[in-house]
Amino acid sequence: MILAPSILAADFLHLADACAMVNDSEADWFHLDVMDGVFVPNISYGMFIIQQLRKAGKKFFDAHLMIVRPEKFTEAFREAGVDQLTVHLEACPNLHRNLQHIKSLGMKAGVAINPHSPVSLLQDIIRDVDVVNVMSVNPGFGAQSFIPYSLDKIRELKKLIVESGSPALIEVDGGVSLENAAVILGAGADVLVAGNAVFSSADPKETIRQFKKTRPAS
């Protein structure tokens, strides 16, 4: 299981400390939520902050773009140091082209789907993605509750990936906690994004260790 703490939930007055904690922990990726206030009703941060984080962050940078017209900024995110760039299916009328552009720049390419979007919409591009981010909350804000029917979407997506021979990993983002991690992994998830569960805990590094000990529920 890959664990990706979401920097959005960190204390922005002490981002260097947050990066050092993730570097020294058992976490695998940094998860970076980029919001524009248009595609989602919130604004987070952009390339400049990621550039600064890249100076301190020593692990894989997984950027999740919750923005309109993401193709306008693909090169800028690569220059900022992103390793994997995920765009939203709902924001990309030319999704296949967007994914190919991301890969042409040397990044891994991901696609995210909102809670209302059916897995079937991924059928024609599933072989072209490295990760599918299943949003298990409505995107835009942290500390929301996990939407239960997301488990059915994860199972359906896993079936599609296996049957198509796709290399895609399944990433689950939203409401992930130590209490539901085993069930989410049991449904077929490969990557867990944990923000509030990590950074609001009394001991974030120990919480990460507990996440990494989690085994899929049968």
**CATH number of the domain bearing residue 197:** 3.20.20.70
Catalytic residue status for 33: yes
Among 33, 36, 62, 128, the active-site one is: 33
> Domain total for the chain?
1
Q: What is the pLDDT of residue 140?
A: 76
Task: Report if residue 218 sits inside a domain.
Answer: no
Average pLDDT, the chain: 97
Residue 141 has pLDDT above 80, yes or no: no
Q: Could you tell me the sign of the dihedral formed by the alpha carbons of 111, 164, 28, 148, in that order? A: positive
Query: Which whole number is the average pLDDT over 63-74?
Result: 97
Task: Report if residue 12 sits inside a domain.
Answer: yes
Q: What is the pLDDT of residue 92?
A: 97
Q: Name the token pair of 51.
A: 């550039």
Predicted confidence (pLDDT) per residue in 153-201, tens digit: 999 999 999 999 999 999 999 999 999 999 999 999 999 999 999 999 9
pLDDT band at 139 (very low <50, low <70, confident <90, very high): confident
Catalytic residue status for 83: no
Among 62, 128, 130, 173, the active-site one is: 173
Task: Report if residue 68 sits inside a domain.
Answer: yes
Q: What is the pLDDT of residue 60?
A: 98
Q: Which domain holds residue 30?
A: 2-213
Predicted confidence (pLDDT) per residue in 69-115, tens digit: 999 999 999 999 999 999 999 999 999 999 999 999 999 999 999 99
pTM for this one? 0.96
**Long-range contacts at 208-211 (CB < 8 A, ≥ 24 apart):** 208/3, 208/5, 208/22, 208/25, 208/26, 208/27, 209/25, 209/26, 210/178, 211/1, 211/3, 211/178, 211/181
Q: Which amino acid belongs to residue 107?
A: M
Task: Report if residue 72 sits inside a domain.
Answer: yes
